[in-house]
Amino acid sequence: MIRPGRTPLHIQLADIIRSQIESGVFNAGDQLPTEMELMKQHELSSSTVRQAVLALVGEGLLYRRAGKGTFVAKRHIGRDLLTFSGFSEEAVTRGFRPGTKHVTVDWHPADALVAAALNVPTDENVLTIERVRTIDDEVVAVETVSFVAAIGLLMEKLDLADTSLTEILERQLGVALARARQEIKAGVARAKLAKALDVSSGAAVLQIDRTAFDATDQVIYFSSSSYRADRYIYTGWIERTSASIAQPRQLIGGSR
Amino acid sequence: MIRPGRTPLHIQLADIIRSQIESGVFNAGDQLPTEMELMKQHELSSSTVRQAVLALVGEGLLYRRAGKGTFVAKRHIGRDLLTFSGFSEEAVTRGFRPGTKHVTVDWHPADALVAAALNVPTDENVLTIERVRTIDDEVVAVETVSFVAAIGLLMEKLDLADTSLTEILERQLGVALARARQEIKAGVARAKLAKALDVSSGAAVLQIDRTAFDATDQVIYFSSSSYRADRYIYTGWIERTSASIAQPRQLIGGSR
Amino acid at A13: L
Q: What H or E segment, with its residue span, contains residue B42?
A: helix B35-42
Minimal Cα–Cα distance from B122 to chain A, Å?
7
Instruction: Using CA coordinates, name the residue in chain A closest to B234.
Output: A184
The Cα B79–Cα B133 span in angstroms is 15
pLDDT at position A189 over 90: yes
SS3 B97: coil
Which of the residue ranges A4-13, A110-119, B36-45, B117-126 has the most confident prediction, judged by mean pLDDT? B36-45
Amino acid at B68: K
Minimal Cα–Cα distance from B153 to chain A, Å?
23
**Tens-place pLDDT, residues A80-103:** 888 888 899 888 888 889 999 989
Residue in B178, B207, B247 closest to A240 by CB: B178
Cβ contact, residue pair B239, A115, below 8 Å: no
pLDDT at position A1 over 90: no
| Cβ–Cβ < 8 Å for A214, A177 | yes
pLDDT at position B65 over 70: yes
Q: Mean per-residue pLDDT for A127-145?
A: 94
Which of the residue ranges A15-29, A125-139, B51-65, B73-87 has the most confident prediction, judged by mean pLDDT? A125-139
Which pLDDT score is estimated for B64?
Answer: 83
Residue in A187, A188, A229 closest to B185 by CB: A229
The Cα B102–Cα B198 span in angstroms is 13
Minimal Cα–Cα distance from A104 to chain B, Å?
17
B53 burial class (0-12, 13-18, 19+ CB within 10 angstroms)?
buried
Amino acid at B146: S
What whole-number percentage of chain A has pLDDT above 90? 46
The Cα B79–Cα A238 span in angstroms is 13
Q: What are phi and psi of B203, to 5 degrees?
A: -70, 150
Cβ contact, residue pair A255, B163, below 8 Å: yes
Cβ contact, residue pair B186, A202, below 8 Å: no
Residue count of chain A, please give it. 256
Which pLDDT score is estimated for A208?
Answer: 94
| Cβ–Cβ < 8 Å for A256, B162 | yes
Give me the residues paired with residue B232 across strands: B77
Mean pLDDT (chain A) is 85
Which pLDDT score is estimated for B96?
Answer: 86
Residue count of chain B, please give it. 256
Minimal Cα–Cα distance from A153 to chain B, Å?
23
Cβ contact, residue pair A238, B83, below 8 Å: yes
CA dihedral of A69, A70, A72, A74, whole degrees rounded to 10: 80
The Cα B235–Cα B240 span in angstroms is 16
Residue in B89, B233, B256 closest to A245 by CB: B89
Cβ contact, residue pair A255, B98, below 8 Å: yes
Instruction: Using CA coordinates, name the residue in chain B closest to A250.
Output: B92
Cβ contact, residue pair B93, A244, below 8 Å: yes
**Tens-place pLDDT, residues B89-137:** 888 888 889 999 989 999 999 987 888 889 888 789 999 999 999 998 9
Residue in A59, A182, A187 closest to B186 by CB: A187
Which pLDDT score is estimated for A246?
Answer: 33
**Tens-place pLDDT, residues B171-220:** 999 999 999 999 999 999 999 999 999 999 999 999 999 999 999 989 99
Which pLDDT score is estimated for A184?
Answer: 93
Structural domains in chain B, CATH included, are: 9-72 (1.10.10.10), 77-235 (3.40.1410.10)
Q: Mean per-residue pLDDT for A3-9?
A: 78
Q: What H or E segment, with its residue span, contains residue B102?
A: strand B98-109
Minimal Cα–Cα distance from A70 to chain B, Å?
15
Which pLDDT score is estimated for B11?
Answer: 84
The Cα B145–Cα B167 span in angstroms is 14
- Complex ipTM value: 0.72
Cβ contact, residue pair B82, A81, below 8 Å: yes
